[in-house]
Every structure is written in C-alpha cells, then in structure tokens.
A and B are shown apart, each in its own frame.
Chain A
Amino acid sequence: MDSMKEMTKAKYSWWKELVGPLQFVQLSEKILPPLYIITIIVLTVALYLAFRAPIDYQQGITVKIMFIHVPFAWLAMLCYTVMTLSAARTLFSYHLLADAALKTATPIGTVFTVLALITGSLWGKPIWGTWWEWDARLTSMFILLLIYLGIFALSRAFENEETSAAHAAAILTIIGFINIPIIKFSVDWWNTLHQSASILRRGGAAINTSILIPLLINAFAFTLVFVTFHLMAIQNEILRRCVITRQRIAARKLPETDIS
C-alpha cells in the first residue's frame, strides 16, 4: 500500500489525495456491509410491492415485467451518465478512481442494457406477438448496447492501462454521450417514417399511482444494486492496480542514470 501511496503522491497534486484511491478503499470497506443489508431489504420490499400491484386490464399479468424492465433501462442510462462523468474527470486530469469507475461501470452497464433488452423482448412477445419489434425504444437501446460493447472492447485492448486505455475509453465514452441524443432522435424519426403496425404502443396511458409507486421503489432498489456492485467493482479494480504496481516494484530495482 505504501508504494502505491508514494506513487500517487508523486504523480498527482494535493487535492486528488483528498479522494485518494486507498482512502476510497478504506471508506468503501466500511460502507459496503451495511449497504448489502439495505440493498437486500429494499429489493425484497420492492419486489413484494411489485407482486402486490394491481394487474393491467389490457395487458394482464405481463405488466409485471415493467417493474424490472423500466429500472433496467433507467440504470443502463444512469450507468452511462456515471461513465461520462468519470470520463470527463479522466480527461480533465487523470485520477485512478475516475479511471476505475469508468472501467468497472462498463460491464455493469452492458449487463443492465442486455437485461433491459431481454425483459423488453419477453414483454413484447405477448403484447406485440413477436420477440423483437423494431420499436424506436428497443432500437435505441440496442444501439446503446453496441456503444457499451465498443467501449468495453476498446478499454481492454491496450497494454498500457494507466494512460492509453483510460484516455481512449474516456474519449469514446464522451463521443458516445454526445451521440446518444442524435441516435435517439434519428431512430425515432426512422421509426415514424416506417410506421409499423404494433398491437399496442407502450406508455400510452398515464400511469396510475398504484403502479407508479411500486415502480419508483423498484427503480430505487435497483439503483442501490447498481451502487453496491459498482462500489465493489471499483474497490476490486483499485486493489488489482495496487497489486500490479507492487509486483512491478518488487520485480525491478530502479535503474540509475549516469551523467558524465
């Protein structure tokens, strides 16, 4: 740990030390155990409320998928926002915490996007009659998945983690973030242009509070799940970098330089 601290101190200016990677690990070690318990309790309550919620007169029992589908979709986007903030921090000036946050959020976001697509597809089968409909929302979600996978692939393609991979992933994340509204708009436009006959369009009617409240609690519960996973993953990543740095230091004596 000391070597890591020294390296951090030498490389980065004073205020970054305030949220130094190791302080973060110590802090997250304290936060995580109660967070596990809170997350499990909130998630249990949320899912119970989802089961208790009234069923839709048109869609029947299938409307229950909404209680997980909507949080997944919301988290897919929240996760990207977290990544964009970390990316901005990395570009502004490199910080291990921001780098680790971006790198570890990518697989989590990818999984949430995949889950949103799968639950959307499962929901679509009874409602639309097909597993896949080129609906504007599903299509944009699918493109978001492609962007996630691109960032995932790029951030793990470099040998030099600290500089190249972190900056490359950060730049791609920000370009993706700027692009998302354009993609969303173009897909909506494309969808209205090729108006397809779907049996029922989602989000038509205003949501009743008896459904809205369990939905919001579910969204909150899954956000907690995301926060927990993300904290664990960041902690893991920082410790992994720590180990690598220590291995390097152990493997090498610093070379001396002669000037004659």
Chain B
Amino acid sequence: MRLTGTDLTAERGGKILFSGLNFSLVSGNLLTVTGPNGAGKSTLLRIIAGLHKPIIGSIQIEEAGAVLPRAMFCHYLSEKNAMKPMLPVGENLRFWGRWLRARDYDPHQVLEAVEMAHSIHLPYGILSTGQKRRVALARLLIAWRPLWILDEPTAGLDNAACSLFTIIMKRHIYSSGMIIAATHLPLGLSATLNITLQENRI
C-alpha cells in the first residue's frame, strides 16, 4: 500500500501555506509534519484526510496499481476528540464502532489498551483533558484502518500516556500500518520521513 501526495499547494484564508509539496510513503512508514503554528500542519493533514481541497495537486492511496477510496482506509484524529460529553465513554465508542462498521470490537478491550477501562460507564464530559485524549485515541483501535492521520496526538497526555501511545503506534506500524502525525513533541519513534513547513513571512 502506498500513499502519494503530488505537487500539493494549499491556501487558507487567502494565504498560500505551502506549494509544490511532494511526498510518498508505504506500509510501515511514519511521516511527521513539523513546523511553527500557522504553517499549515493541520491543513496538510485535512487535505490528506480529504476534508480540505488543495488548490493544486492530489493525494492517492494505491495498492497493486489499484486506487483505493481514501476514507475507507484511514482514521483521522484532529485536535478535537469527536466524543459527545454527555454520553458515557462506552456509548461513544460503541457509536463509532457501528459507524466505522467494525465487525468485532469490544469497547472494554480498546479502553484497556489505553488504560481507561474503568471509565466505560462514566460520562465522557467529566474526564480530565488527558483522559479525554486517551479515550479519543481508543477510537483508532476500534476498527482497523491502515492509515492513521493524527493531529497533535499526544497533546495533553502525561509521560506515562505518551509512552503508552508510542507502543500503540509501534504496534500499528509493525502490523504494516502507516501513520502521518503533525506534532511538535517527540513521539518516541523515529520517523521515516519528515516534512518541515516554514512559517509564512509577511
């Protein structure tokens, strides 16, 4: 499986963020996107996830010459957690499980992987910031998607949770997944490829 970005140029709010960006990664690769705030890290991830249209350029996922529909093969986790605060944690995960058409998923099991199993019946809204992020990361484990697109995945996590997440990412990469992460914190993994976006000089 191969993800290629060709000649990407993106604009936001009438400003060109980056132009002529090319990259390509295959199964088992980790791509990190770094750069100062406002350089277009999130926009690049949204473009890869198909939520934002680039002015020029295209993104493609292919396997053995066949182009695959991107959305069916990726998880997108933005800085927002995509969980309803008033519903219990288990209920939130069960909803995403059905939404992602996961065949065999167990909210308890994925919560255990992020060490949050005790919270399954608690409303999501009462959790602390770090705990919320852990539950949001558990969504990635509900259904297998080869490509993870993560925007500041470790923001708000303490050291223990960070190293826990490093293990989760390692496991994903070893089982021939791909990860694209925008971050300014070290992830504890060596990146195969790094894109550094420069700040816009005005």
Contacts and interface: CB of A to CB of B under 8 A. Distances in A.
Given A160-B13, A257-B18, A257-B20, A251 B202 contact: yes
B18 A160 contact: no
Nearest to A251: B202
Contacts of B23: 259
Name the residue in B13, B16, B23, B194 with the highest tally of chain A Cβ atoms < 10 Å from its Cβ: B16
B174 to A, nearest CB: 24
Contact of A255 (B13, B56, B200): B200
B14 A255 contact: no
Contacts of B194: 259-260
A260 B32 CA distance: 11
Interface residues of A, number: 18
Given A10-B56, A159-B13, A160-B13, A255 B199 contact: yes
A255 B201 contact: yes
Q: By DSSP majority rule, is chain B's interface helix, strand, loop, or mixed? A: strand
A253 B16 CA distance: 10
Name the residue in A11, A257, A258 with the highest tally of chain B Cβ atoms < 10 Å from its Cβ: A257
B55 A257 contact: no
Contacts of A252: 15-16, 200-202
Interface in B28-48: 39
Contacts of A251: 202
Nearest to B12: A160
B40 to A, nearest CB: 9
Interface string A139-167: 00000000000000000000111100000
A253 B18 CA distance: 11
Contacts of A256: 198
A248 interface: yes
B14 A248 contact: yes
Contacts of A159: 13-14
A207 interface: no
Given A11-B55, A251-B202, A252-B202, A257 B197 contact: yes
Contacts of B198: 255-258
A221 to B, nearest CB: 40
Given A160-B13, A160-B14, A248-B14, A257 B195 contact: yes
Contacts of A248: 14-15
B5 to A, nearest CB: 11
A259 B195 contact: yes
B196 interface: yes
A255 B55 CA distance: 16
Nearest to A256: B198
Nearest to A252: B202
Nearest to A11: B55
Contacts of B71: none
Interface in A1-18: 10-11
Q: Which 9 A-B pairs have the closest CB atoms?
A: A255-B198, A258-B196, A257-B18, A260-B194, A257-B21, A255-B200, A252-B202, A253-B201, A160-B13
20 contacts: A10-B55, A159-B14, A161-B14, A162-B14, A244-B14, A248-B14, A252-B202, A253-B201, A255-B16, A255-B19, A255-B39, A255-B198, A255-B201, A256-B198, A257-B197, A259-B194, A259-B195, A259-B196, A260-B193, A260-B196
Given A252-B16, A259-B23, 13 more contacts: A160-B13, A160-B14, A244-B14, A252-B15, A252-B202, A254-B16, A255-B18, A255-B19, A255-B199, A257-B197, A259-B21, A259-B194, A260-B196
